[in-house]
Amino acid sequence: MMNTQLVLTEFFKRAETHFSQKQIISRTSETKIHRLTYKDFSLRTKKLAAALEKLGMQRGMKIGTFAWNHHRHLEVYFAVPCSGAVLHTINIRLSPEHIIYIINHAEDEILFVDADLLPLIEAVQSELKTVKIYIIMGDDVDLSQCKLPNAYSYEKLVAEARDDFEFPQDLDENSPAGMCYTSATTGLPKGVVYTHRGIVLHSMILGMVESFGLNERDVTLPIVPMFHVNAWGFPFAAVNYGTTQVLPGPSFTPKLLLELIESEKVTITAGVPTIWLGVLQVLENSERPIDISSLRTVISGGSASPKGLIKAFEQKYNVPFIVGYGMTETSPIVSASNYTSEMDDWSHEEKLEARSTQGAPMSLIDTRIINEDGDVPADGKTMGELIIRGPWVASEYYNDERTKEAFRDGWLYTGDIAVRTPQGFIKITDHTKDLIKSGGKWISSVDLENALMTHDAVFEEAVIAMPHPKWQERP
C-alpha cells in the first residue's frame, strides 16, 4: 500500500481541483457579505502564504488568530498549516489575563487580529513577549489609527504578494498543524496541539453517515467559533468535501442566523444549546413564518441539550437535532446521538431520550466508563468517569505539568461522569467537580437541570451545590 501522508495540503488541492466554482459566503460586517469561489479562496490563500513567508514565517512557527468566522480566517486556516507552520486560534472571549498567558505560552510570533477586536489586543500588547508582527483583518483597515507596532493590512499583503506560490510537498503527517487552549474554569488554560494526521482523520469522519454525513451537496453554517476547537472541524472538512460554506462573521444574532439559513438554503449547522434556544425563541415569536425547511441537520454540543429544545426542532419544525460530544483535547468530535435501526419502531419519547444523550462513539474512538469497581455495565444507571483514546485525541498538554493528571496509560481522563445505555450510547450525567453529594448520595446537576428545562416557563437554568448542615450539600 502507498504510504500517503495525511496532510492538509491534500484537502486544499482537492478543493482547488474539483470544487473551484463552489462558494464561500462570508459576512464581515453588518452591511457586507463577500461571495468567493473556491478558486478565489485558493489563489488568495496561496498569496497569503507567500506574504507570510516574506515576513519570516518558518516551519514550526506559531501563528495566532484573534478573529470571527469569515473568509479571511478560513484562508489563514490553510495558509499557515499548509506551509508547515502552526495555527493557534485564540478564544476572543477569554479574560485579558488568559489571553496574555496563552499567546506567551504558545510563543506566537505573528498575530492576525480582526479590526473590530483591535482594542482587546492593544490593551494587552505591552505584555505580549513573543509577537513580532500584527496583521489586521477587515474590509477597510486604517492603520493610522492602529496602536500596535509592526502592523500590516491583510488585504494589502494579499494584493501585493506573488501569485505563483506553491505549498511544500514534504510535510510530515505527524507534525503540528494547529493548537487551541482549553477555556479553563479554574486555573490557567491548557494547550492542545493538533497534528496534520489528527485533523485530516477527524475532518474525514465528519463526512461519514455515522456522524454528520457532510458532503458536496451541503451548505454548512458553522456557528461554533473558528477560534475554538477549529469550529468543530467544519472549516477543514468543508474544504475537503467541496461544501458550500456560510460564515456568519461578527456579532451575529439568532435573527441573523435564521435569515442566513433561509436565504442561503443552509442544510447543516452547528452550535451550542444557548444558540439554539435563542433561535427557537425567534422562530416561535416571529411575525412572519421563517422557512428553515432546507435544514437536514442541526448539531448541538458544548453542554447538555434540553429535551424540550430537541423536541421542538424535531417534532414541530421537522429538523433532526443531533447532540454531539467532545472536548478541546479530542479535536473535538467523540460521539453523536444518531438513531440506529434498532430505534426505528421506538416511540417519540423513547427516541427523545436517546437523542438527548451524547450518543455512540465515532469509528476509531475507544471509550470506557470506569469507577472503583472497573468498567461500568451498559445499564444506563451505573456511573463512572469517561475515558477516551483515538487517533485525533491528544496525548498530552503543551508544555504543561498537568499532563500527568489527565493522560494516563494512553487514555484521556475527561473528568466527565457518565453512564452507558444498553444501546452503547454515552450519557453524560455530570462533571466530577459538579456532582452534588447529599446525605451520602451523588446527585447529578445535569439531570436536575434537564428536568427544570422541561417546564414551559423555564428558558435557561443552572444547578449548583450549596453547603447544608445536615446533608453536607443540597442542590
Per-residue pLDDT tens digits for 96-153: 999 999 999 999 999 999 999 999 999 999 999 999 999 999 999 999 989 999 999 9
- Residue 435's pLDDT band, with cuts at 50, 70 and 90, is confident
Question: CB-hemisphere CA count at 13 Å for 390?
Answer: 26
Lowest mean pLDDT among 258-262, 267-271, 341-345, 449-453: 449-453
Please report the pLDDT score of residue 233 as a whole number: 97
Tell me the mean pLDDT in the region 212-237: 97
CA distance 90 to 111: 10
In order of 4, 21, 29, 247, the CA distances from 38 in angstroms are 24, 6, 21, 14
Three-state secondary-structure class, residue 56: coil
- Residue 185's pLDDT band, with cuts at 50, 70 and 90, is low
Catalytic residue numbers? Answer: 182, 329, 437, 442
- Residue 11's pLDDT band, with cuts at 50, 70 and 90, is very high
Burial of 408 (C-beta count, 10 Å sphere; 0-12/13-18/19+): exposed
On the question of pLDDT at 184 being above 80, the answer is no
Three-state secondary-structure class, residue 394: coil
Q: What pTM did the predictor assign?
A: 0.93
Q: What are the structural domains of the chain?
A: 8-252 (3.40.50.12780), 259-433 (3.40.50.12780)
Please report the pLDDT score of residue 465 as a whole number: 87
CA distance 156 to 167: 21
Please report the pLDDT score of residue 444 as a whole number: 75
Tell me the mean pLDDT in the region 234-247: 98
**From the CB of residue 177, how many other CB atoms can be counted at a distance below 10 Å?**
27
Written as nine digits, the cell of 174 is 505527524
Tell me the mean pLDDT in the region 38-65: 98
- Residue 349's pLDDT band, with cuts at 50, 70 and 90, is very high
Please report the pLDDT score of residue 92 as a whole number: 96
Three-state secondary-structure class, residue 82: helix
In order of 130, 157, 164, 212, the CA distances from 261 in angstroms are 41, 33, 37, 18
Please report the pLDDT score of residue 144 as a whole number: 94
Average pLDDT, the chain: 95
**From the CB of residue 264, how many other CB atoms can be counted at a distance below 10 Å?**
18
Contact present, 358 and 325 (Cβ < 8 Å): yes
- Residue 442's pLDDT band, with cuts at 50, 70 and 90, is low
On the question of pLDDT at 329 being above 80, the answer is yes
On the question of pLDDT at 450 being above 80, the answer is no
Per-residue pLDDT tens digits for 377-403: 999 999 999 999 999 999 999 999 999
Q: Which residue has better confidence, 459 or 112?
A: 112
**From the CB of residue 113, how many other CB atoms can be counted at a distance below 10 Å?**
26
